[in-house]
Amino acid sequence: MQFEIRALGSGGQMQTVRLEAEDAAAAHRAAEAQRLTPVTVKALGQGRARRRGRGAFSLVMFSQELLALLEAGLSLVEGLEALIEKESNESSRAIMAALITRMREGLRFSDAVAQQPEHFPPLFIGIVKAAERTSDLPQALARYVDYQTRVEQVRSRIVSALIYPCVLFSVGGMVALFLMAYVVPKFASVYKDSGRDLPWMSKLLLGWGDFLSAHAASVGVVVASIIVLIVYTLRRITREGRWSQLAARVPGIAERARILELSRMYLTLGMLLEGGITILTALDMVGGTVAPDSRARLVAARGEIANGEPVSRAFELHGLSTPIALRMLRVGERSGQLGAMLTRSALFYEGESARWIERFSKVFEPALMAFIGIVIGLIVVLLYMPIFDLAGSLQ
Protein backbone atom coordinates (compact mmCIF):
# COMPACT_ATOMS: atom_id res chain seq x y z
CA MET A 1 0.00 0.00 0.00
CA GLN A 2 1.02 3.61 -0.37
CA PHE A 3 2.12 5.84 2.51
CA GLU A 4 2.55 9.60 2.73
CA ILE A 5 5.56 10.49 4.86
CA ARG A 6 6.46 13.91 6.24
CA ALA A 7 10.15 13.88 6.98
CA LEU A 8 13.18 16.07 7.58
CA GLY A 9 15.70 16.09 4.77
CA SER A 10 19.47 16.24 5.11
CA GLY A 11 19.32 20.03 5.00
CA GLY A 12 16.81 20.22 7.83
CA GLN A 13 13.87 21.20 5.59
CA MET A 14 10.49 19.47 5.90
CA GLN A 15 9.34 17.52 2.84
CA THR A 16 6.56 15.11 1.91
CA VAL A 17 7.18 11.88 -0.02
CA ARG A 18 4.99 8.97 -1.08
CA LEU A 19 6.31 5.42 -0.86
CA GLU A 20 5.01 1.92 -1.51
CA ALA A 21 5.42 -0.31 1.53
CA GLU A 22 3.91 -3.38 3.15
CA ASP A 23 3.13 -1.55 6.40
CA ALA A 24 3.96 1.63 8.30
CA ALA A 25 7.18 0.17 9.73
CA ALA A 26 8.42 -0.75 6.25
CA ALA A 27 7.55 2.74 5.02
CA HIS A 28 9.51 4.22 7.93
CA ARG A 29 12.55 2.10 7.03
CA ALA A 30 12.27 2.98 3.34
CA ALA A 31 12.26 6.69 4.20
CA GLU A 32 15.34 6.25 6.38
CA ALA A 33 17.01 4.44 3.47
CA GLN A 34 16.56 7.65 1.47
CA ARG A 35 18.40 9.55 4.24
CA LEU A 36 15.22 11.12 5.58
CA THR A 37 14.09 11.45 9.19
CA PRO A 38 10.37 10.50 9.24
CA VAL A 39 8.06 12.64 11.38
CA THR A 40 4.66 11.25 10.41
CA VAL A 41 3.67 8.16 8.38
CA LYS A 42 0.11 8.06 7.02
CA ALA A 43 -1.52 5.33 4.91
CA LEU A 44 -3.21 6.67 1.78
CA GLY A 45 -5.63 3.79 1.21
CA GLN A 46 -5.91 0.18 0.33
CA GLY A 47 -6.43 0.47 -3.45
CA ARG A 48 -2.88 -0.29 -4.46
CA ALA A 49 -2.56 -2.97 -1.82
CA ARG A 50 -5.58 -4.75 -3.28
CA ARG A 51 -4.15 -4.51 -6.79
CA ARG A 52 -0.87 -5.84 -5.53
CA GLY A 53 -2.66 -8.70 -3.84
CA ARG A 54 -4.15 -9.68 -7.20
CA GLY A 55 -0.69 -10.23 -8.62
CA ALA A 56 0.95 -6.85 -9.42
CA PHE A 57 4.68 -6.67 -8.72
CA SER A 58 5.80 -3.29 -7.37
CA LEU A 59 9.35 -2.67 -8.54
CA VAL A 60 9.69 0.48 -6.43
CA MET A 61 8.68 -1.36 -3.28
CA PHE A 62 11.01 -4.24 -4.18
CA SER A 63 13.90 -1.79 -4.66
CA GLN A 64 13.17 -0.01 -1.38
CA GLU A 65 13.06 -3.20 0.64
CA LEU A 66 16.12 -4.73 -1.03
CA LEU A 67 18.03 -1.48 -0.47
CA ALA A 68 17.18 -1.52 3.23
CA LEU A 69 18.35 -5.13 3.59
CA LEU A 70 21.61 -4.55 1.68
CA GLU A 71 22.41 -1.51 3.82
CA ALA A 72 21.71 -3.63 6.90
CA GLY A 73 24.59 -5.90 5.87
CA LEU A 74 22.83 -8.81 4.14
CA SER A 75 24.19 -10.21 0.90
CA LEU A 76 22.11 -9.94 -2.27
CA VAL A 77 20.93 -13.56 -2.16
CA GLU A 78 20.18 -13.33 1.57
CA GLY A 79 18.18 -10.17 0.96
CA LEU A 80 16.13 -11.82 -1.77
CA GLU A 81 15.51 -14.86 0.45
CA ALA A 82 14.33 -12.58 3.26
CA LEU A 83 11.94 -10.80 0.88
CA ILE A 84 10.53 -14.14 -0.27
CA GLU A 85 9.95 -15.23 3.33
CA LYS A 86 7.93 -12.13 4.20
CA GLU A 87 6.09 -11.91 0.85
CA SER A 88 2.50 -13.18 0.88
CA ASN A 89 1.78 -12.68 -2.83
CA GLU A 90 2.52 -15.79 -4.86
CA SER A 91 3.31 -13.87 -8.05
CA SER A 92 5.91 -11.69 -6.35
CA ARG A 93 7.42 -14.72 -4.59
CA ALA A 94 7.77 -16.50 -7.95
CA ILE A 95 9.52 -13.48 -9.52
CA MET A 96 12.09 -13.27 -6.71
CA ALA A 97 12.54 -17.04 -6.56
CA ALA A 98 13.37 -17.00 -10.28
CA LEU A 99 16.03 -14.36 -9.61
CA ILE A 100 17.67 -16.49 -6.91
CA THR A 101 17.56 -19.61 -9.10
CA ARG A 102 19.29 -17.86 -12.00
CA MET A 103 21.90 -16.29 -9.71
CA ARG A 104 22.71 -19.71 -8.21
CA GLU A 105 23.16 -20.96 -11.75
CA GLY A 106 25.95 -18.45 -12.15
CA LEU A 107 24.22 -15.43 -13.68
CA ARG A 108 24.85 -11.94 -12.43
CA PHE A 109 21.97 -10.01 -10.88
CA SER A 110 21.67 -7.77 -13.96
CA ASP A 111 21.43 -10.80 -16.25
CA ALA A 112 18.86 -12.42 -13.96
CA VAL A 113 16.56 -9.39 -13.98
CA ALA A 114 17.09 -8.96 -17.75
CA GLN A 115 15.42 -12.34 -18.25
CA GLN A 116 12.20 -10.93 -16.80
CA PRO A 117 11.67 -7.78 -18.92
CA GLU A 118 7.95 -7.74 -18.16
CA HIS A 119 8.78 -6.89 -14.53
CA PHE A 120 12.13 -5.09 -14.80
CA PRO A 121 12.35 -2.22 -17.33
CA PRO A 122 15.54 -1.40 -19.29
CA LEU A 123 16.31 1.57 -17.00
CA PHE A 124 16.46 -0.67 -13.95
CA ILE A 125 18.53 -3.28 -15.77
CA GLY A 126 20.93 -0.61 -17.01
CA ILE A 127 21.67 0.95 -13.63
CA VAL A 128 22.08 -2.49 -12.03
CA LYS A 129 24.53 -3.52 -14.76
CA ALA A 130 26.51 -0.31 -14.28
CA ALA A 131 26.48 -0.77 -10.49
CA GLU A 132 27.97 -4.25 -10.82
CA ARG A 133 31.06 -2.73 -12.41
CA THR A 134 31.58 -0.50 -9.36
CA SER A 135 30.19 -2.95 -6.76
CA ASP A 136 27.78 -0.30 -5.53
CA LEU A 137 24.33 -1.85 -5.95
CA PRO A 138 22.77 -0.05 -2.92
CA GLN A 139 23.63 3.34 -4.43
CA ALA A 140 22.11 2.30 -7.76
CA LEU A 141 18.91 1.14 -6.05
CA ALA A 142 18.74 4.40 -4.10
CA ARG A 143 19.05 6.37 -7.35
CA TYR A 144 16.28 4.33 -8.97
CA VAL A 145 13.94 4.76 -5.98
CA ASP A 146 14.63 8.49 -5.92
CA TYR A 147 14.00 8.71 -9.68
CA GLN A 148 10.67 6.88 -9.48
CA THR A 149 9.61 8.95 -6.47
CA ARG A 150 10.24 12.20 -8.35
CA VAL A 151 8.39 10.96 -11.45
CA GLU A 152 5.47 9.88 -9.27
CA GLN A 153 5.40 13.28 -7.54
CA VAL A 154 5.05 15.09 -10.87
CA ARG A 155 2.32 12.68 -11.95
CA SER A 156 0.51 13.12 -8.63
CA ARG A 157 0.57 16.91 -8.96
CA ILE A 158 -0.99 16.74 -12.41
CA VAL A 159 -3.65 14.24 -11.34
CA SER A 160 -4.47 16.27 -8.20
CA ALA A 161 -4.85 19.41 -10.31
CA LEU A 162 -7.33 17.63 -12.61
CA ILE A 163 -9.50 15.85 -10.03
CA TYR A 164 -11.41 18.86 -8.71
CA PRO A 165 -12.23 20.37 -12.15
CA CYS A 166 -13.42 16.96 -13.39
CA VAL A 167 -15.67 16.48 -10.36
CA LEU A 168 -16.97 20.05 -10.62
CA PHE A 169 -17.70 19.70 -14.33
CA SER A 170 -19.45 16.34 -13.83
CA VAL A 171 -21.69 17.60 -11.02
CA GLY A 172 -22.49 20.82 -12.87
CA GLY A 173 -23.33 18.87 -16.03
CA MET A 174 -25.65 16.51 -14.15
CA VAL A 175 -27.45 19.44 -12.48
CA ALA A 176 -27.91 21.22 -15.82
CA LEU A 177 -29.15 17.99 -17.44
CA PHE A 178 -31.63 17.44 -14.59
CA LEU A 179 -32.96 20.98 -14.97
CA MET A 180 -33.33 20.62 -18.73
CA ALA A 181 -34.85 17.12 -18.72
CA TYR A 182 -37.16 17.35 -15.68
CA VAL A 183 -37.72 20.89 -14.40
CA VAL A 184 -37.98 22.71 -17.73
CA PRO A 185 -40.77 20.42 -19.13
CA LYS A 186 -42.81 21.05 -15.95
CA PHE A 187 -42.62 24.81 -16.52
CA ALA A 188 -43.36 24.31 -20.22
CA SER A 189 -46.71 22.65 -19.48
CA VAL A 190 -47.68 25.53 -17.16
CA TYR A 191 -46.76 28.20 -19.71
CA LYS A 192 -48.69 26.43 -22.50
CA ASP A 193 -51.87 26.52 -20.41
CA SER A 194 -51.44 30.25 -19.69
CA GLY A 195 -51.80 31.18 -23.38
CA ARG A 196 -49.25 34.00 -23.10
CA ASP A 197 -46.58 34.79 -25.67
CA LEU A 198 -43.14 33.92 -24.30
CA PRO A 199 -39.75 35.57 -24.95
CA TRP A 200 -37.91 33.80 -27.78
CA MET A 201 -35.03 32.68 -25.53
CA SER A 202 -37.49 31.09 -23.12
CA LYS A 203 -39.22 29.38 -26.07
CA LEU A 204 -35.89 28.01 -27.20
CA LEU A 205 -35.11 26.70 -23.71
CA LEU A 206 -38.55 25.13 -23.30
CA GLY A 207 -38.23 23.52 -26.74
CA TRP A 208 -34.95 21.90 -25.77
CA GLY A 209 -36.50 20.77 -22.48
CA ASP A 210 -39.43 19.14 -24.30
CA PHE A 211 -37.03 17.42 -26.69
CA LEU A 212 -34.92 15.99 -23.85
CA SER A 213 -38.02 14.85 -21.98
CA ALA A 214 -39.55 13.22 -25.04
CA HIS A 215 -36.33 11.42 -26.01
CA ALA A 216 -34.97 10.70 -22.53
CA ALA A 217 -33.94 7.12 -23.37
CA SER A 218 -32.12 8.11 -26.55
CA VAL A 219 -30.40 11.02 -24.82
CA GLY A 220 -29.35 8.72 -21.98
CA VAL A 221 -27.82 6.25 -24.43
CA VAL A 222 -25.96 9.06 -26.23
CA VAL A 223 -24.62 10.50 -22.95
CA ALA A 224 -23.55 7.05 -21.72
CA SER A 225 -21.86 6.36 -25.06
CA ILE A 226 -19.96 9.63 -24.88
CA ILE A 227 -18.79 8.85 -21.34
CA VAL A 228 -17.65 5.35 -22.36
CA LEU A 229 -15.83 6.79 -25.40
CA ILE A 230 -14.05 9.38 -23.25
CA VAL A 231 -13.00 6.76 -20.68
CA TYR A 232 -11.79 4.41 -23.43
CA THR A 233 -9.83 7.19 -25.13
CA LEU A 234 -8.20 8.29 -21.88
CA ARG A 235 -7.22 4.72 -21.02
CA ARG A 236 -5.78 4.20 -24.49
CA ILE A 237 -3.80 7.44 -24.30
CA THR A 238 -2.49 6.42 -20.87
CA ARG A 239 -1.57 2.93 -22.06
CA GLU A 240 0.25 4.25 -25.13
CA GLY A 241 1.86 7.15 -23.26
CA ARG A 242 0.56 9.80 -25.66
CA TRP A 243 -0.29 12.43 -23.06
CA SER A 244 2.54 14.70 -24.19
CA GLN A 245 1.37 14.55 -27.81
CA LEU A 246 -2.18 15.43 -26.77
CA ALA A 247 -1.05 18.28 -24.51
CA ALA A 248 1.21 19.63 -27.26
CA ARG A 249 -1.90 20.44 -29.33
CA VAL A 250 -3.63 22.44 -26.59
CA PRO A 251 -2.94 26.20 -26.85
CA GLY A 252 -1.23 27.59 -23.77
CA ILE A 253 -0.19 24.15 -22.50
CA ALA A 254 2.03 22.95 -25.35
CA GLU A 255 5.18 24.70 -24.10
CA ARG A 256 4.63 23.53 -20.53
CA ALA A 257 4.12 19.94 -21.74
CA ARG A 258 7.41 20.19 -23.62
CA ILE A 259 9.18 21.44 -20.47
CA LEU A 260 7.74 18.55 -18.43
CA GLU A 261 8.89 16.01 -21.00
CA LEU A 262 12.39 17.54 -21.16
CA SER A 263 12.51 17.56 -17.37
CA ARG A 264 11.77 13.85 -17.21
CA MET A 265 14.32 13.16 -19.94
CA TYR A 266 17.00 15.14 -18.07
CA LEU A 267 16.16 13.33 -14.82
CA THR A 268 16.44 9.92 -16.51
CA LEU A 269 19.69 10.80 -18.27
CA GLY A 270 21.15 12.23 -15.08
CA MET A 271 20.33 9.07 -13.13
CA LEU A 272 21.92 6.87 -15.79
CA LEU A 273 25.08 8.99 -16.16
CA GLU A 274 25.56 9.23 -12.40
CA GLY A 275 25.18 5.45 -12.28
CA GLY A 276 28.18 5.04 -14.57
CA ILE A 277 26.44 4.44 -17.91
CA THR A 278 27.99 6.06 -20.99
CA ILE A 279 26.17 8.92 -22.67
CA LEU A 280 25.45 7.02 -25.91
CA THR A 281 24.04 4.00 -24.07
CA ALA A 282 22.01 6.29 -21.83
CA LEU A 283 20.53 8.08 -24.84
CA ASP A 284 19.50 4.72 -26.31
CA MET A 285 17.77 3.77 -23.06
CA VAL A 286 16.01 7.12 -22.68
CA GLY A 287 14.49 6.87 -26.17
CA GLY A 288 11.73 4.60 -24.90
CA THR A 289 10.53 7.11 -22.29
CA VAL A 290 9.76 10.06 -24.59
CA ALA A 291 7.16 10.81 -27.27
CA PRO A 292 7.82 9.68 -30.87
CA ASP A 293 8.67 13.18 -32.15
CA SER A 294 11.09 13.76 -29.29
CA ARG A 295 12.53 10.28 -29.86
CA ALA A 296 13.36 11.22 -33.46
CA ARG A 297 15.16 14.37 -32.29
CA LEU A 298 16.97 12.33 -29.63
CA VAL A 299 18.20 9.85 -32.24
CA ALA A 300 19.47 12.72 -34.38
CA ALA A 301 21.22 14.28 -31.36
CA ARG A 302 22.81 10.92 -30.53
CA GLY A 303 24.26 10.78 -34.01
CA GLU A 304 25.81 14.23 -33.52
CA ILE A 305 27.28 13.18 -30.15
CA ALA A 306 28.65 9.95 -31.62
CA ASN A 307 30.48 12.09 -34.22
CA GLY A 308 32.17 14.11 -31.48
CA GLU A 309 29.72 16.98 -30.98
CA PRO A 310 29.25 18.16 -27.35
CA VAL A 311 25.99 17.13 -25.70
CA SER A 312 24.95 20.75 -25.17
CA ARG A 313 25.49 21.60 -28.84
CA ALA A 314 23.66 18.49 -30.07
CA PHE A 315 20.70 19.15 -27.79
CA GLU A 316 20.58 22.79 -28.88
CA LEU A 317 20.61 21.89 -32.59
CA HIS A 318 17.72 19.45 -32.24
CA GLY A 319 15.46 21.38 -29.86
CA LEU A 320 16.13 19.28 -26.77
CA SER A 321 17.23 22.10 -24.50
CA THR A 322 16.06 25.33 -22.91
CA PRO A 323 18.19 28.42 -22.25
CA ILE A 324 18.75 27.53 -18.59
CA ALA A 325 19.33 23.82 -19.26
CA LEU A 326 21.80 24.72 -22.02
CA ARG A 327 23.90 26.79 -19.62
CA MET A 328 23.86 24.00 -17.03
CA LEU A 329 24.87 21.43 -19.64
CA ARG A 330 27.85 23.54 -20.67
CA VAL A 331 28.92 23.89 -17.04
CA GLY A 332 28.56 20.13 -16.59
CA GLU A 333 30.69 19.43 -19.64
CA ARG A 334 33.45 21.74 -18.41
CA SER A 335 33.43 20.31 -14.89
CA GLY A 336 32.91 16.66 -15.83
CA GLN A 337 29.63 16.60 -13.88
CA LEU A 338 27.18 16.27 -16.77
CA GLY A 339 24.95 13.80 -14.94
CA ALA A 340 24.65 16.02 -11.89
CA MET A 341 23.86 19.06 -14.04
CA LEU A 342 21.17 17.17 -15.94
CA THR A 343 19.60 16.20 -12.61
CA ARG A 344 19.76 19.80 -11.39
CA SER A 345 18.13 21.00 -14.62
CA ALA A 346 15.33 18.49 -14.10
CA LEU A 347 14.81 19.59 -10.49
CA PHE A 348 14.76 23.25 -11.54
CA TYR A 349 12.01 22.64 -14.07
CA GLU A 350 10.14 20.33 -11.71
CA GLY A 351 9.88 23.19 -9.24
CA GLU A 352 8.86 25.62 -11.97
CA SER A 353 6.23 23.19 -13.28
CA ALA A 354 4.84 22.64 -9.78
CA ARG A 355 4.37 26.40 -9.38
CA TRP A 356 2.76 26.64 -12.82
CA ILE A 357 0.34 23.80 -12.02
CA GLU A 358 -0.60 25.52 -8.76
CA ARG A 359 -1.22 28.85 -10.52
CA PHE A 360 -3.20 27.12 -13.28
CA SER A 361 -5.42 25.41 -10.69
CA LYS A 362 -6.06 28.66 -8.84
CA VAL A 363 -7.18 30.34 -12.07
CA PHE A 364 -8.93 27.49 -13.88
CA GLU A 365 -11.02 26.14 -11.00
CA PRO A 366 -12.79 29.46 -10.20
CA ALA A 367 -13.23 30.12 -13.94
CA LEU A 368 -14.86 26.71 -14.42
CA MET A 369 -17.06 27.24 -11.35
CA ALA A 370 -18.15 30.63 -12.70
CA PHE A 371 -18.94 29.12 -16.13
CA ILE A 372 -21.07 26.35 -14.62
CA GLY A 373 -22.81 28.89 -12.37
CA ILE A 374 -23.58 31.09 -15.38
CA VAL A 375 -25.05 28.16 -17.35
CA ILE A 376 -27.27 26.99 -14.49
CA GLY A 377 -28.21 30.57 -13.60
CA LEU A 378 -29.14 31.28 -17.23
CA ILE A 379 -31.45 28.24 -17.30
CA VAL A 380 -33.17 29.38 -14.10
CA VAL A 381 -33.54 33.00 -15.28
CA LEU A 382 -35.01 31.95 -18.63
CA LEU A 383 -37.46 29.69 -16.79
CA TYR A 384 -38.68 32.51 -14.58
CA MET A 385 -38.57 35.29 -17.20
CA PRO A 386 -42.22 34.77 -18.27
CA ILE A 387 -43.26 34.95 -14.59
CA PHE A 388 -41.39 38.25 -14.24
CA ASP A 389 -43.14 39.48 -17.39
CA LEU A 390 -46.54 38.48 -16.01
CA ALA A 391 -45.83 40.19 -12.69
CA GLY A 392 -44.91 43.39 -14.55
CA SER A 393 -48.15 43.37 -16.56
CA LEU A 394 -50.23 42.86 -13.40
CA GLN A 395 -48.59 45.89 -11.83
Are both 171 and 39 inside the same structural domain?
Answer: no
The residue from 24, 45, 66 where one domain ends is 45
Report yes or no on 76 lying in a domain.
Answer: no
Q: What are phi and psi of 38, to 5 degrees?
A: -60, 140
Report yes or no on 55 lying in a domain.
Answer: no
pLDDT for 178: 85
Report yes or no on 22 lying in a domain.
Answer: yes
Report yes or no on 353 lying in a domain.
Answer: yes
Residue range(s) defining the domain that contains residue 215: 162-395
What are the pLDDT digits (tens) for 285-318? 887 667 777 788 888 898 989 988 899 999 989 8
Averaged pLDDT, 204-216: 80
**Considering its fold, how many domains does the chain have in total?**
2
* Residue 40: C-alpha distances to residues 37, 56, 89, 153 (Å): 10, 27, 27, 18
User: pLDDT class for 8, splitting at 50, 70, 90?
Assistant: low
pLDDT for 245: 60
Q: Which helix (H) or strand (E) holds 158?
A: helix 137-178
Are both 380 and 239 inside the same structural domain?
Answer: yes
Share of the chain above pLDDT 90, in %: 1
What are the pLDDT digits (tens) for 73-110? 888 888 888 888 888 888 888 888 889 998 888 888 88
pLDDT for 194: 62
What CATH number should be reported for the domain holding residue 298? 1.20.81.30
Residue 124 makes CB contacts below 8 A (sequence gap 6+) with 59, 63, 113, 144
User: pLDDT class for 248, splitting at 50, 70, 90?
Assistant: low
What are the pLDDT digits (tens) for 350-362? 888 888 888 888 8
pLDDT for 53: 41
Report yes or no on 51 lying in a domain.
Answer: no
What are the pLDDT digits (tens) for 118-155? 888 888 888 888 888 777 888 888 888 888 888 787 77
Contact 59, 141 (CB under 8 A): no
Are both 254 and 393 inside the same structural domain?
Answer: yes
pLDDT for 50: 39
Sign of CA dihedral 184, 188, 189, 193: positive
CA 376 to chain centre: 33
Report yes or no on 89 lying in a domain.
Answer: no
pLDDT for 117: 81
Q: Mean pLDDT in the chain?
A: 79
Report yes or no on 26 lying in a domain.
Answer: yes
Averaged pLDDT, 323-335: 89
Are both 379 and 247 inside the same structural domain?
Answer: yes
pLDDT for 182: 82
What are the pLDDT digits (tens) for 252-296? 677 777 888 888 888 888 888 887 888 888 888 887 667 777 788
User: pLDDT class for 52, splitting at 50, 70, 90?
Assistant: very low
Report yes or no on 137 lying in a domain.
Answer: no
Averaged pLDDT, 230-258: 68
